[in-house]
Amino acid sequence: MAIAGVAFSFVVIIYLVQRKVHLYLALLVGALLVGLTTGQAPLSLLQVSAEALLMPMAIDLMMALALISMLGSVMQELGLLAKMVELLQVVLQSTKLTIIFVPSIIGSLLVTGGAILSAPTVGELGAQLDLPPERLSAINLLFRHGWYFVYPLMPAFILITSITDVALSTLVLWQLPLTVAVLVAGYFSYLHKVKDRNTTKRLPTRQDFIDLIKYTSPLWASLTLTVAFNLSFPLALLLGLGLALAIGDVTLAMLPRLLYRSLNFPIIASGASIIIFKAVTGQVTALPPLIEQLLQAGLPPQALFIVVPFLVGFLSSSNTSAIALTMPLLLPIMQKTDLVLFGAIAAYSSSLVGYFASPLHLCQVVTLSHFKCKIMPLYREYIWPLIAVVVTMTAISLLLL
């Protein structure tokens, strides 16, 4: 009954997410179903949830999610994003490089469905390079999401490092080859044989380079402080947010309303719901014996770490959902088999690929709509980048296993 309850809760959560119900509500419903079907009393559920939410890891996670959403929204609203794109075109002096960097930079802001922000610029640049719609769609999506293997401000990235206790810098280092492989494969698939054009009317000045550093500083400062100096996520993001507000020349009168508008409450609530779901699932005493039986039956744990997160990411069109749903079940297997590092890399990477390829993925939906392209021609554009991911992941597996 307990196992059936957990399985049923997964189905319900994925169904609700597909029906556009907020992730935090779907996870709360799932946690309630798990609790009721495993005999946990309502008062006990509340106690377990409250204790989990008051843990330092949980508080750090929710603060980080809040500040990430605020940083992206503030940079967009203050026009820092538009200024970055303008400066990139001047500084790079290359349409091919600019068409790569525009979705990459905009992707760092983590705006839901944010591919629509870069699509018009990618379209304009693509017209100069005579690229077809499916190629423009692939460029807009791949160069946005290819960085997410190593982008530590991703909510799912924060989540998996919090759950597994794998150091953020360690995960970035091991997954860096995946990002390199995807971006290189994307360049050679989409742009290598395309003749470059430079339509910029002036050469870059020293001030242009200074301004580009200035307008991107909220992003690179946050990342540098976190990855290189091991500063806590919330503090690094707070400093990045302060930089954005200073560059945007925000007055004290504007500040409260701007910060309130920039808060993404569903994302913060999703972080809380993930913590609750993990805590409630951790109370299910039938799961450890099931895991033991699966391992004794000869089921390769490595296959579980890859296949299960991929499927959940594909079905839910969210790698955050995939990590939230699968890690409470997979982590005990990772710990028992001493494969925590490999499991973290495999689960995060496969969930990201599943989410990226999902036909429900909002960035993909809005990009296809903008370029008036169908999904099957777009999927054909993904063949070589996908091969690159599989080959690189195989090499990582051989080094770790």
Q: Are 45 and 291 in contact (CB under 8 A)?
A: no
CB atoms within 10 A of CB 43: 8
Q: What are phi and psi of 195, to 5 degrees?
A: -70, 125
Question: Measured between alpha carbons, how far is 229 from 226 in angstroms, rounded to an integer?
Answer: 6
Geometric angle at alpha carbon 94, from 88 and 97, rounded to 5°: 70
Tell me the three state secondary structure of residue 222: helix
Between residues 154 and 14, which one has the greater pLDDT?
Answer: 154
Q: Are 180 and 393 in contact (CB under 8 A)?
A: no
Position 112 pLDDT exceeds 60: no
**pLDDT tens, residue by residue, 11-23:** 887 778 667 777 7
Q: Which domain range does residue 219 map to?
A: 2-400
Q: What is the pLDDT of residue 287?
A: 59
Which residues neighbour 292 within 8 Å (Cβ) at sequence distance 6 or greater? 336
Q: Which range has highest mean pLDDT (136-150, 195-209, 238-252, 285-299)?
A: 136-150
Question: Measured between alpha carbons, how far is 317 from 253 in angstroms, rounded to an integer?
Answer: 39
- Both tokens of 330, joined, read 């997979």
286, exposed or middle or buried, with CB in 10 Å at 0-12, 13-18, 19+? middle
Between residues 303 and 110, which one has the greater pLDDT?
Answer: 303
Residue type, 38: T
**pLDDT tens, residue by residue, 43-82:** 888 998 999 899 887 888 788 778 877 887 788 788 887 7
Q: What is the pLDDT of residue 155?
A: 83
Split at pLDDT 50, 70, 90, the class of 179 is very high
Question: Measured between alpha carbons, how far is 265 from 282 in angstroms, rounded to an integer?
Answer: 26
Mean pLDDT along residues 125-147: 92
DSSP character string of 94-142: -HHHHHHHHHHHHHTT--TTTHHHHHHHHHHHHHHTT--HHHHHHHHHH
Position 182 pLDDT exceeds 90: yes
- Both tokens of 296, joined, read 């004794």
Tell me the three state secondary structure of residue 2: helix
Q: What is the pLDDT of residue 200?
A: 66
Position 183 pLDDT exceeds 80: yes
Between residues 38 and 101, which one has the greater pLDDT?
Answer: 101
Q: What is the pLDDT of residue 351?
A: 93
How high is the mean pLDDT of the chain?
Answer: 84
Position 268 pLDDT exceeds 60: yes
Between residues 67 and 116, which one has the greater pLDDT?
Answer: 67
DSSP character string of 230-247: ---HHHHHHHHHHHHHHH
Q: Output Rg (C-alpha) for the chain, integer angstroms.
A: 22
Question: Measured between alpha carbons, how far is 364 from 94 in angstroms, rounded to an integer?
Answer: 26
CA–CA distance from 14 to each of 11, 25, 310, 344 (Å)?
Answer: 5, 12, 13, 22
Among 295, 278, 277, 282, CA closest to 333: 295
Position 111 pLDDT exceeds 70: no
Q: How many domains does the chain have?
A: 1
